[in-house]
Chains A and B, each alone.
Chain A
Amino acid sequence: MTARHLLPALRHAALLSAGFVVLLPFFWMIATSLKPPAEIFLSEIRWWPETLHVRENYAAALEKAPLGRYLLNGLIVTVSIFVLQVMVALPAAYALAKLRFPGRGMLFVLVLFGILIPPQAIAVPLFLLFHQLGLLDSYAALVLPFTISVFGIFLMRQFFMTVPDDLVDAARMDGISEFGIVWTVMLPTAIPAVTAFGIFSVVSHWNDYFWPLIAVNSETLFTPPLGVAAFRNEEAGTDYGPLMAAATIVIAPLVIAFLLAQRRFIEGIALTGMK
């Protein structure tokens, strides 16, 4: 084999092994969710079960925990967060990108600082605030802390900077109000950026474990990650088959959504990479 062939081969080998490392836990989760208990605790590595235990594991998962409820909660929470984030971020980004007013530069610097604050750092004050307001253990507690996304404001502002000023002025000449411009002119031109932001927002809040763990107690409000964790602690003990089945069910919506929107997803990431 010549060097010309060797290099691409090495490159692919490296990529394949990295992919293998990433995918292995997922594969192991799915394989385990199909195994009977006896096969799970074998000392040898068995990639695929000899006897399938699909029906038992998945039935146990769905029966022992209200997984449907968790998924619905996840949907309600992520969609509400995203819609509210857009309702806040778009007008804010429009003002930062297209309106001239004193203090605009300072405000934008504050937005940039906001991005630097990790959510864990403000979790305790937030918890106390929600306690004072009597909002703990509710959907509001799960949604409200994320409605102002500084990252979203930043991302949309960068995108709006690339929209020509003439377009905004043309809309003003046509008699569209400033809020009207945000929703009927800027939003449609910013669909790629909004999609990219939506993907990041939904994925990160669907998978968020930290804040829901602090904010809610009632099982009826559990989001999918909380549900899976609770499932392990209380119901299953060391019963890994149903546990992995539950984990698979919880991850499935994201995976399916990703496969359906694969092209958009990659476009979106490419877009944020550019800006």
Chain B
Amino acid sequence: MSGISLRSIGKRFGETPVLRGVSLEIRAGEFVSLLGPSGCGKSTLLRIVAGLDSQDEGEVLIGGRDVSEVRPSARDLAMVFQSYALYPHLTVEANMMTPLRMRDLGAFERLPLLGALAPGRAAKLAAMRARVREVAETLRIEPLLARKPGQLSGGQRQRVALGRAMVRKPVAFLMDEPLSNLDAALRVHMRTELADLHRQIGATFLYVTHDQVEAMTMSSRIAVMLEGSIVQVGAPAEIYDDPRDVRVAEFIGSPKINLIDAVTDGAGQPRIDGAGRGGQALDCAFAARPGAALRLGVRPEHLRLADPALAPLVGRLRHREELGAETLCHVEVQGGAAPLVARVSPAAARGLRINAPVGLVFDLSDIRAFDAAGLRIEAVSSPARAAAHV
């Protein structure tokens, strides 16, 4: 078990930069998710950590040691691939044995027939088999040991791939979207199992995914990656509540965060264009120049329905999604680009007809403001837990 440090890793394919100075500290025993949209360079970064690709700039340290010149197998990492990549011609047991055979047997001992003559080989093989059984027991795949990968279901293959990674007791596990080939129910189940497994063996995990739910549910920390850079690193709740960049705010959370355009007045108070109550400024201030354009982010669960006469935002109900426990109301606000989404209780939305006028209110403390470049702007004053219309 070791930590992994990435120091300003850069990588380009031809002229296209894919990674731009990525730095990340993963402490020993941590479960860190690398979260980002498709094509942002997550797999590339993971392959560089594994040693399957080489970086153009920067260095990778594993347990404090620079591994730039170290072969993949000598880095003592284990990788689980999206496609599982099991050897199709070998049984589950032989698949799981392979990393041990390669590490513990000499070249002569691995020879098909002659190898049997090597002294001590039988004892080594017995130890390996015992280790494979032990791991198979942890993953509950013992009954499958004699089968070939082609005779397994997706979930079983996934477990075997995990098993093959575990037998060596590597210093860290690298996983590239290991759950994305599973159906929804199995994915939920495997999420729990992976989190359990991490607690049980306490190893370092670097987990790549584009699914924010996976990242939120399993990780100690999430590193959000966008267009080849890590934009923010933090605990799941921190990433959700305190996004440092508007792209992070937009990427995390479903439905997406609502973004409302506003302009600051002389006192740094935001005024929402063309909104209700005659465009009155909100009673909170941000560290921005007067007249600066702001984007105010409010999560759907922080919007509430209110009387249009009193609300800072008014619009018409365009669409309603009944999800059982909650209702999503899509409200088209005058002058707003996209409809705002409010996540409310079914009782609150009952009786509202499509196209009915709706007012939206929110707590001022729930606003996250971003500047024109997308960077977060801190609030300099906002009344604690005070609704905007009060």
Contact = CB atoms under 8 A, between A and B. Distances in A.
B85 A167 contact: yes
A22 to B, nearest CB: 37
B87 A167 contact: yes
A160 B388 CA distance: 63
B113 to A, nearest CB: 15
Interface in B66-101: 72-74, 77-79, 81-90, 98-99
A233 B89 CA distance: 51
B103 interface: yes
Best-buried of A169, A170, A173, A188 by chain B (most CB within 10 Å)? A173
B364 to A, nearest CB: 50
Interface in A162-219: 164, 166-167, 169-176, 185, 188-189, 191
Contact of B98 (A174, A188, A189): A174
B222 interface: no
A173 B50 contact: yes
B82 A175 contact: no
Contacts of A176: 73, 98, 102
Contacts of A175: 73-74, 99, 102-103
* Number of chain A interface residues as a range: 10 to 19
Given A166-B82, A166-B83, A174 B99 contact: yes
B87 A185 contact: yes
B53 to A, nearest CB: 10
Contact of A169 (B52, B86, B87): B52
B72 A173 contact: yes
Best-buried of B72, B90, B164 by chain A (most CB within 10 Å)? B72
Interface string B89-124: 110000000110011000000000000000000000
A170 B85 CA distance: 6
A173 B79 contact: yes
Best-buried of A172, A174, A188 by chain B (most CB within 10 Å)? A174
| SS class, residues of chain A in contact with chain B | helix
A146 B153 CA distance: 44
B342 to A, nearest CB: 43
A172 B103 CA distance: 12
A164 B77 contact: no
Given A173-B50, A174-B73, A175-B73, A166 B85 contact: yes
A173 B103 contact: no
B176 to A, nearest CB: 9
Contact of A172 (B72, B82, B89): B72
A54 B103 CA distance: 63
Contacts of A172: 52, 72-73
A167 B86 CA distance: 7
B89 A188 contact: yes
A176 B103 CA distance: 9
A169 B88 contact: no
Contacts of B84: 166
A47 B180 CA distance: 67
A125 to B, nearest CB: 40
B103 A169 contact: no
A94 to B, nearest CB: 16
B102 A174 contact: yes
Nearest to A188: B89
A164 B87 contact: no
Given A164-B83, A166-B82, A166-B83, A173 B89 contact: no
Nearest to B87: A185
Nearest to A185: B87
B52 A164 contact: no
A169 B85 contact: yes
A47 B12 CA distance: 75
A266 B78 CA distance: 41
A172 B52 CA distance: 8
A190 to B, nearest CB: 10
A189 B73 CA distance: 22
Contacts of B79: 169-170, 173
A169 B47 CA distance: 9
Contacts of A169: 47, 50, 52, 72, 79, 81, 85
B124 to A, nearest CB: 15
A178 to B, nearest CB: 11
B77 A173 contact: yes
Nearest to A187: B89
A176 B74 CA distance: 11
Nearest to B89: A188
A188 B88 CA distance: 8
Contacts of B89: 188-189, 191
B78 A173 contact: yes
Contacts of B47: 169
Contacts of B81: 166, 169-170
Nearest to B176: A166
Best-buried of B84, B87, B164 by chain A (most CB within 10 Å)? B87
Nearest to B174: A173
Contacts of B82: 166
B201 to A, nearest CB: 18
Interface of A: 164, 166-167, 169-176, 185, 188-189, 191
7 contacts: A169-B47, A171-B87, A174-B102, A175-B74, A175-B99, A188-B89, A189-B88
The 10 A-B residue pairs with the shortest CB-CB distance, nearest first, are A175-B73, A175-B102, A170-B85, A188-B89, A166-B85, A166-B81, A174-B99, A167-B85, A166-B83, A172-B72
Given A166-B85, A174-B73, A175-B102, 4 more contacts: A170-B79, A173-B73, A174-B99, A185-B87
